[in-house]
Every structure is written in C-alpha cells, then in structure tokens.
C-alpha cells in the first residue's frame, strides 16, 4: 500500500482536480485505489457526479467499517466522500489520544494498492493526520507568489512531522494552471526549479476543459483525454507536462 497526500495550504491550486485525475489514472493502471476526501467542501464526490455524503464522518466518528462507507465510482476505484460534517471529524479527533496518527492507524488495515488523500487548504488536526498517514506528499501549486509560499509552509510542517518520528518516502511539487506565456509563471517556475530540482514534476497547463469536466461529473481521462492539461505542451513530436506524464512519474514512485 502506498499513500499519497495532496496538500497545499493555499486554496484553488488544483488539489481536488489533481487527486481525482491521479486516482483515476492509478485505477486505469489496475491499481486498487481509494481516494479519501479530507476537505469539508466534499468536492471529490461532486467531481464524480455524486451527491456529497458524510463518509469520513461515518468512518471516523460513527466507527462504521471502511467498506460500508466507501463508494465504488469506477473499476478499481473507490472514494471515501466527505461533506460539511467533516468539520465534526476534526473536533472528534482533537479529543482523542495520539490524535495525530488516528488516520494512519485506521488506514493501516486497508487493502488498497494506492490511497490518495485530498486535503483541505488549512492546517488543522485532519491536515496533520493526512500528512502523518502519507508516504509521499504531492504539493500542487500555481505559479504565483502566494501559492509558492504555501509550498514552503507545507514543507515546514512536513519537517515538524519528521521530527516527531514519521518518515516520508519523498515529495513532489506539481505546477498547475501553468501558463508559459506570462513572465510571472517563468519567474516562479525558475525559482521552484532552482530550489527543488528533480522534485518538480512536469507542469499541468492551464486548460478551461478542466473546469468543464467536473461540471459533467467526469474525470479528465473521460471528458478530455487529449486536451493540454492531459497531454501537456507539444514541441514537434515530443510532449512536456500534463497529467499523462505526471501519472507515469508517480507510477514509477509506486512501483519503485
């Protein structure tokens, strides 16, 4: 089992879209995959065209077994949806012993190949739980100063968690909403490449089709598999960036 957390304290950087796209990608590669929505906005269920339901609440607070609260959305892919009652999960966990590792303990028994945690843009007990449970953190970020600052914040939090005894296998930074024609994108991209080197994944180009896909309750693989967000930028016969390439890199991580 390999657990990815998708985290950035800055909102609107593409965490949920990335989580849904990567989860579907792993499932298409025949990895038994679970996507857990740790965000009270509950947009994971929405992205698959489902109603929001308090799956996380029922699992953690009501202590229902995981297989009764997950929803099969595609072949090899289950989701554990959330809704505003996820806020109550935070309060519940806060009162528990060893509260930082509640999620890690619960997930230890599950039988999935890959688990993705779609985290809320906040730094609360559920966020810390998500990081504690994860092997690898994917940090999606727009190429703007505030989102890049969010990357730094996550890395500092990861540092603190490491000091408390958890070891991450690694982390990746995923540039999203990438618009290579603007100077600011260029400047921020150079900065993060200089700072993080090979931890920077191929960027995902800005693409209006991405917004449409969730409105139709479809994944990007289903709705717009050949759009720039999926295939990246074409230069002659080669492609750079896009979720197809990101997926390849992460499969290498999972398969060692």
Partner 1 sequence: MADRKVRRRTVLDPAVADLLAGMEEKQAESHLPRRIREKKARERAKIRARRDHRVTYDLPPQLKQSVMELADKLSLPASQLATLALLRFLQDYKNNNIDLSKFKKPSSSPRYDWKLIFPKEWFEEEYINTNKKA
The reply to whether 183 sits near partner 1 by the rule CB under 8 A is yes
* Subset of 189-228 contacting partner 1 (CB under 8 A): 189-190, 193-194, 197-198, 200-203
Give the residue with the Cβ less far from partner 1, 68 or 234.
Answer: 234
Q: Which stretch binds partner 1 (CB under 8 A): 25-33, 39-47, 113-121, 236-244?
A: 236-244
**Site size for partner 1, by CB under 8 A?**
23
Q: Which stretch binds partner 1 (CB under 8 A): 25-33, 68-76, 87-95, 179-187?
A: 179-187
The reply to whether 253 sits near partner 1 by the rule CB under 8 A is no
For residue 186, the minimal CB distance to partner 1 (Å) is 5
CA distance readout (Å), 227 to 1, 113, 135: 31, 28, 30
Give the residue with the Cβ less far from partner 1, 94 or 169.
Answer: 169
For residue 229, the minimal CB distance to partner 1 (Å) is 14
Distance CA 140, CA 243 (A): 12
How do strand 114-118 and strand 33-37 relate by DSSP bridges?
Answer: parallel
Distance CA 156, CA 167 (A): 14
Give the pair of three-digit tokens for residue 223: 């709705």
Q: In terms of C-beta density within 10 A (0-12 exposed, 13-18 middle, 19 or more buried), how is residue 142 classed?
A: buried
CA distance readout (Å), 194 to 36, 61, 178, 221: 32, 44, 17, 32
Q: Which stretch binds partner 1 (CB under 8 A): 43-51, 152-160, 185-193, 209-217?
A: 185-193
Distance CA 39, CA 28 (A): 24
Give the pair of three-digit tokens for residue 109: 């028994």
For residue 202, the minimal CB distance to partner 1 (Å) is 4
Q: In terms of C-beta density within 10 A (0-12 exposed, 13-18 middle, 19 or more buried), how is residue 9 classed?
A: buried
For residue 201, the minimal CB distance to partner 1 (Å) is 7
The reply to whether 236 sits near partner 1 by the rule CB under 8 A is yes
Q: Which stretch binds partner 1 (CB under 8 A): 20-28, 52-60, 117-125, 182-190?
A: 182-190
Residues lying near partner 1 in the complex (CB under 8 A): 180, 183, 186, 189-190, 193-194, 197-198, 200-203, 232-233, 235-236, 238-241, 245, 249
């Amino acid at each position: 089992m390999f657990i990815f957390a998708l985290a950035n304290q800055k909102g609107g950087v593409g965490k949920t879209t990335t989580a849904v796209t990567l989860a579907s990608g792993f499932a298409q590669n025949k990895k038994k995959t679970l996507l857990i929505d740790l965000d009270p906005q509950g947009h994971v269920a929405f992205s698959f065209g489902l109603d929001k339901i308090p799956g996380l609440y029922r699992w953690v607070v009501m202590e229902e077994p995981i297989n009764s609260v997950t929803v099969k959305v595609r072949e090899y892919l289950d989701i554990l949806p959330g809704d505003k009652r996820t806020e109550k999960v935070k309060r519940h966990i806060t009162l528990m012993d060893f509260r930082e590792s509640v999620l890690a303990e619960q997930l230890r028994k599950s039988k999935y190949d890959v688990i993705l945690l779609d985290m809320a843009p906040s730094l609360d007990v559920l966020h810390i739980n998500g990081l504690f449970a994860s092997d690898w953190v994917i940090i999606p970020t727009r190429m703007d100063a505030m989102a890049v600052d969010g990357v730094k914040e996550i890395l500092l939090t990861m540092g603190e968690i490491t000091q408390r005894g958890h070891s991450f296998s690694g982390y990746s930074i995923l540039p999203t909403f990438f618009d290579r024609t603007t100077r600011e994108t260029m400047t921020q991209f150079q900065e993060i490449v200089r700072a993080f080197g090979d931890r920077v994944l191929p960027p995902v180009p800005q693409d209006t089709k991405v917004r449409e896909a969730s409105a139709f309750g479809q994944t990007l693989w289903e709705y717009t598999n050949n759009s720039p967000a999926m295939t990246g930028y074409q230069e002659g016969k080669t492609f750079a960036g896009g979720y197809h390439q990101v997926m390849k890199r992460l499969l290498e991580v999972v398969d060692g």
